[in-house]
Amino acid sequence: MKLPSDVIKKTGPKPGPAVAVFAGVHGNERAGQLALEALAETLSPIAGTVFLVKANPPAIERNVRLVNANLNRLFSRRATPPPTYEGARATELMDLLDRCDALLDLHSYPETAAPDAAEPFAICEPDCRPLVAGFDVGTVVGGFAAFEDGGSDGYMHGNGKIGVCVELGAIERTEKFVDLGIDTARRFLSHFGCLPPAPPLLPRPQRHLRLTAFHKKTAPDFRLARPFRNLEPICAGEEIAAENGRRLVAERDGFIIFPNDTRPVGVEAFLLAAEAT
Ligand SMILES: [Zn+2]
């Protein structure tokens, strides 16, 4: 099979799994892209096949989140892909993922108010816990698959495979998180035997959260009640936002994820998560 554009294939001398590392699904999230470029120069697998994928090259070139559509909502065979660049790209990347056993997808998120406080975290379902236990991230959030179709990690999970997204801290602090991107990718590849075992991390807690709400903006007047930080604790009864003349209040204690009131109607404005049991 011909490789899609902007995909580098590296094959080890020994047989092994096929795995993919994505960066730039959202073109303005640079840390993962720089990590991928470093890996493209230095990586030499000892086994298996590694695909290094610049996921959305036109968006990367323009340093924008997307060209026509959010690529990370299009990894699904259930819906007809939109007749846009991202629709076509999602189809060719799903064809590539169908040849892979596992995916690591590197992202970053906006943290305009407090970029220095931004905390990297992983997004995956519980079947990935043994893998992400070896990543240097303090928080793991699961349960996305129940709320939203079309994420790259959810696509892998839906096919009974391993899919992990790692959010490499703030878009506004790209340089700070490139090394974490490289380290995370190397640990991912070690887990699957494509690289020798990674050096162990110092013991540290890793907390597990589970998504409890996925709020999409329904009106242009949606406003967050205050500038929340990503993963900031939220108390039951606390006002999160106002929309359409209504107050949106947290039903239980938890954490807010990806708070953003600048995105268009129909797009997620915040997510809520609670400690996983
Ligand atoms: Zn992203």
Residue 125 included in any domain: yes
- Give the CATH number of the domain where residue 261 resides: 2.40.50.630
Contact 83, 143 (CB under 8 A): no
Report yes or no on 201 lying in a domain: no
Are 70 and 133 in the same domain?
yes
| Of residues 1, 13, 44, 35, the one with CA closest to residue 189 | 44
For residues 261-265, give the mean pLDDT.
Answer: 93
Domain of 241 in residue numbering reads as 210-275
Q: Are residues 23 and 144 in the same domain?
A: yes
218 and 84 part of one domain: no
Same domain, 106 and 156: yes
Q: What is the 106 CA–ligand 1 centroid distance (Å)?
A: 8
Ligand 1 center to 202 CA (angstroms): 28
What's the CA-to-centroid distance between 15 and ligand 1, angstroms?
32
59 located within any domain: yes
| Distance from C-alpha of 8 to C-alpha of 47, rounded to nearest angstrom | 16
Instruction: Assess whether 19 and 152 both reside in one domain.
Output: yes
Q: Among 191, 225, 254, where does a domain finish?
A: 191
User: What digits encode the pLDDT tens for the residues 24-78?
Assistant: 999 999 999 999 999 999 999 999 999 999 999 999 999 999 999 999 999 999 9
Q: Determine the distance separating the centroid of ligand 1 and the alpha carbon of 72, expressed in angstroms.
A: 8
Q: Tell me, in angstroms, the distance from the centre of ligand 1 to residue 25's CA.
A: 6
**pLDDT tens per residue, range 236-251:** 999 999 999 999 999 9
Provide the pLDDT for residue 112: 84
| 80, part of any domain | yes
Report H helices in the chain.
30-42, 57-62, 85-97, 129-132, 152-158, 174-191
* 145: confidence class by pLDDT, cuts 50, 70, 90: confident
Ion ligand 1, residues whose Cβ is below 5 A away = 26, 29, 107
pLDDT in tens, 90-104: 999 999 999 999 999
The answer to whether position 203 is within a domain reads no
Q: Note whether residue 238 is domain-resident.
A: yes
Q: Which tokens in the block code for residue 83?
A: 């007749």
- 277: which residues sit within 8 A by CB, 6+ positions away? 210
pLDDT per position as a tens digit, 78-132? 988 899 999 999 999 999 999 999 999 999 999 987 899 999 999 999 999 999 9
- Rounded distance from Cα 250 to ligand 1 centre (Å): 25
For residue 251, the model assigns a pLDDT of 95
In a domain? residue 266: yes
For residue 119, the domain's CATH number is: 3.40.630.10
At position 273, the amino acid (one-letter code) is: A
SS3 of residue 168 by DSSP: strand
Average pLDDT over residues 221-228: 96
Query: Is residue 199 a part of any domain in this protein?
Result: no
Do residues 149 and 225 both lie within one domain?
no
- Residue in the block written with tokens 């379902």: 125
Same domain, residue pair 142 and 72: yes
111 and 13, same structural domain? yes
Q: Rounded to the nearest whole angstrom, what is the distance from the C-alpha of residue 73 to the centroid of ligand 1?
A: 11
DSSP string, 203-225: P---EEEEEEEEEEP-STT-EES
**Domain tally for the chain?**
2
